[in-house]
Amino acid sequence: MPSAPPTLTRRRLLTGALPATLAVGLLAGTAGCTPPPPPAELADLRTQFDRANADSLLAGEAATAPIGRTLTADMVATLTAIAAERTAHARALADEITRLTEGDVPTASAAPANSTGADAAPVAKPGVTAVATALRESGEDAARVATQMNGYRAGLLGSIAASCTAAYQVALGNPERKP
């Protein structure tokens, strides 16, 4: 006489399925993990973060110069927009650094180019040419670093490079080339 099939209880079902569930859970948990970036990548991102903050401060200071022969109201609006754009770049870079370091929020290390002590004589505001030079250098450096990275970080830096290049060549009219 054939024996009766084993009775399937809830306990047997759960204990039989437990090893498979754990294996799937562990595989899914490790699939989403990415190794930390190499220290050089993190250093490059921090450098780009500092450049973005410095450029934002420089453009902001240039926008506060008195309107006159060399600085028009339209140029003030352009410099203000560039300062805001570079602030957005710094924010995006800070978000990526924070994500990569699991919560280590970077702080701006760049001081305003014309910051003076209480006893120091006032320094002239930076001009449009100084802003254009800084943007050109930042754009070139971001493009160089972008080619050394992969994925999102490469795209972020490529976008920043394009934005900086457009800002100094188009928005500012590349004042470095003017006589």
Region 81-110 average pLDDT: 90
Model confidence at 69, in pLDDT bands (50, 70, 90)?
confident
- Residue 88 is assigned to a structural domain of this protein: yes
Q: Is 124 helix (H, G, I), strand (E, B) or coil?
A: coil
75 — pLDDT class (breaks 50, 70, 90): very high
**Is 55 part of a structural domain of the chain?**
yes
Within-domain flag for 117: no
pLDDT score recorded for residue 23? 54
Does 58 fall in a domain? yes
* pLDDT(107) > 50: yes
Q: By three-state DSSP, how is residue 93 classified?
A: helix
Which tokens hold the place of 157? 């830096």
Residue 25: DSSP 8-state: H
The secondary structure of 96-110 as a DSSP string is HHHHHTTS------P
Q: For position 66, which CATH number holds?
A: 1.20.1260
Residue-number span of the structural domain to which 52 is assigned: 37-105+124-171
- Say if residues 46 and 97 touch (Cβ distance below 8 Å): yes
**Predicted confidence (pLDDT) at residue 167 exceeds the cutoff of 80:** yes
Give pLDDT tens digits for 123-145: 678 999 999 999 999 999 999 99
Task: Please give the tally of structural domains in the chain.
Answer: 1
Residues contacting residue 78 through CB under 8 Å, at least 6 positions apart: 171, 172
Determine, yes or no, domain membership for 155.
yes
Tell me if 15 is assigned to some domain.
no
